[in-house]
Chain A
Amino acid sequence: MAKLILDGAIVDNQWQRLDADALANGLPDGKVIVPLDYWQSHRQALLERTDVGVCLEPGEEPRDLVDDLEALPLVAIHFPAFKDGRGYSYARELRTRFGFKGEVRAVGDVLRDQLFYMQRCGFNAFEVRADRNIEEALSGLKDFSVTYQGDVNDPRPLYRRA
C-alpha cells in the first residue's frame, strides 16, 4: 500500500483518489476521494456515506464546499505543480474561515521543500510524490523551529507567544 505522511508520521494511505474517468463506472466501496464536480453532481447520495472525501483543483475554492464541510472527513487539495501556491490559501481558509476539522491532504506535486509551509497553512496529510523518498520528506516538516507569523496551528505571531 502506498504511504503518506499523516500528522507527522508515515502511514499507509487508506484513501483512493479517483478522477472522472475512473468514476465513470461508478463509485467503489471503501475510502475514496472524488473531484469536486463529481461530488456536486452526486452530492445527496455521497452525503449518505462517511468515507468520501473531495479533491479541490486550483480555481476550486473551499467555499464551493461550504455546506458540506461538516459532513466531509477529508478535503484534498491538488498541486498540479508545486509552484502553484493557491492551495496554501485554500488550506488556510478551510481551517481558519470554515473551521474544518477533518483531514486536509496535499496531493500532486508534493515535495519535501514545501511541506513546512503547507503544514503551517493547515495541511496535516501529505501524499509525497511517488518518486521521492518519503522518510526524507518527513524531515521537511522540521526545517524551522522559529516562525514570525501566526499560522493555522498557532494563530499568534511570535511576539504574542513569547
Chain B
Amino acid sequence: MSGFLGYLRPDGQVGIRNHVLVLPTVSCANGTVNMIRESLKNITAIFHCHGCGRAGKDFEIHMRTLVNIGKNPNVFAVCVIGLGCEVIKADWIASGISESGKPVKALEIQRNGGSRNTAKKAISICKEFLELAKKENRVPAKFADITLGLECGGSDGFSGITANPAVGVVSDWLISKGGTLILTESTEMIGTAHILSRRAVNAAVACRVENVIVEAEERAKNILGPMASMVIAPGNMDGGMTTIQEKSLGCITKAGSAPVEDVVDYGMHPSKKGLIIMDGPGYDTESMAGLAAAGAQVIIFTTGRGTPAGFPCVPVIKIVSNSRTFGEMEGDFDVNAGTLLEGETLEDVSKRIKGKLISVLNGEKTRAEQNSQEGVICLYTGLPSF
C-alpha cells in the first residue's frame, strides 16, 4: 500500500478529516460557540480560555496558534466567533485562515446583536459550510503528505521500553515514505541535548536544538529551584521514573532515528519535511494544540498511567505501555504495546501501530474521537507550564 484516501485542500495540503470548525477568538465567546454546537451536532467546536489581556510574545503565540489551527488540513471551513473588544480580533484570525483558500467567516458578538443573535447567524453560515463539506470526497494521497505529531502523557516505567520504541519504528517508516514527524515537549527533552543535537542535519540546527533544551531547563530551574532535576509529575514518580533524563531518553525514542531537519517555535508550520523539533510545553493539551497548529493531521500519543484526552480536529491515537492499564481503561486506548513484555516482538507491535495509523488516516475513528475527548483546548502562553 503506497498511500491513503484523504481530502485535498485548496493549498495542496491533505486532510484526513473534514471538519467545519467553530473557533472562538476569546473565552468570552465560548457560550455562543456552545449554542451553535447544541443546534448543529455535526460542527466541531473548540473552546479555550485565552484571547484577551495578552501582549508581546503571548499575543504572537495566540495569533499564530489560532490561525494555524484553522489552517490545519483536517479543517474544511471555519466560522470564527469574536466578542469585539478583545485583543485577538476575529477578523484578523479569519483573514489569516483565508490564506489557505478554505471557506471562512468571522462574526463579532458586539456587532451582531449579542450572543443569541450571533449564534443564529453563525448557525446559518455553518449550515452552508456543512452542505459544501458533504460534496468533498476522499481522493488518493501519499504518506509523504502526512505530518505525524508525537506526544506522551502520564508516562510510566514501561512507556520508554514498550510504547515509545514501538512508535519509533513507525516514525522511521513514515520518514522512509517522505513524511514529516514533529517531536515536541521541550521540557521532556532535558538531559538529551547531547543526543538530539548529534542528530541535527547541520551545525545551525544542532545549535537551535541545544538552545531549545537549555531554555527549557532554565525555565524549569527558575520555577522549581532545587527541585528542577526532578521535573516529573508525581504520577510519573509513582510509575517508576526517577529523573528527567530517564524519562527524556524514553520519550525521544518515539521519534525513531531520523536526522533532525529543523527546529520551529510552538504552533509554527514547519517549512521542511522529515523530523522536526517544535519548542513547546510538556502539558499535553497545550502541546496537542501546538501540534494541530503546526499542521499535524494525526497525533500518536503514548501513555502508561492512561490519559483519555484527544484534540477537537486532529485524531489522537492512544498507545498504552502496559497490559494492566490497558485492562483497566481499555475503552480509551487504540493499541496495547504492553504485549512486548509478554513475548510479542517489537516488529509485531509496531506493525499493529502502523496498521492502526493507516486505518485512522482512511477515516477510522480513534478511541478519543469515539469518546468525545475533544472540545476544550489550552493554548501555550509565555508563562511556562508543565
User: Do A and B assemble together?
Assistant: no
